[in-house]
Each structure stands twice: as C-alpha cells, then as structure tokens.
Amino acid sequence: MLGYAKDIRPMFRGTDVDAMKPRGLDLWSYTDVSASADEILSRLQEGSMPCDGPWQQTTIDKFKQWIADGKSP
C-alpha cells in the first residue's frame, strides 16, 4: 500500500511547494494534499500541474493509486 510520507510527498519538489503555498495549498502537508487529492489529480492529468511541465504517466498513476488505496499517511 502506498503512503503519503514515503511515496507521495517525495514526488513534490520545493518549487512545487513554493508555487502552491501562496494559493493556500501546502504540498508537503498530508492534511492539505489528502483534502485536495481529487483536485490535484485532475490538474496532474490535464497537465496544468506542476507549472513547469507534466508528470510522467507512471507518476500520475502512483498518485491515483494512493487515492484509490484510501490516502494512507
């Protein structure tokens, strides 16, 4: 099972965190990411997040699986 701390948080870079924090989303916070997971996934799938280019599909699939598994910390 995927967990936020070991599997998901490392996918976010400092630049991602810096870009989203002014918008009220701390990507290094389990609480924030878990609460916004569906919106984050949607933006990842459309390619508008992260701001410097889309993630590889395997990385998006890992995030999607984390959601499907129940968003374990």
What tens digit of pLDDT does each residue of 19-39 get?
999 999 999 999 999 999 999
Answer whether residue 48 is part of any domain. yes
Q: In this structure, are residues 8 and 63 in contact, taking their beta carbons and an 8 Å threshold?
A: yes
The two three-digit tokens of residue 54, written as one number: 């889309």
**Number of domains present in the structure of the chain:** 1
Range of the domain at 35: 4-68
Which ranges of the chain have pLDDT less than 50?
Answer: none
Answer whether residue 73 is part of any domain. no
CA 60 – CA 45 distance, rounded (Å): 7
**Confidence at residue 51, expressed as pLDDT on a 0 to 100 scale:** 77
DSSP letter (8 states) at residue 56 = P
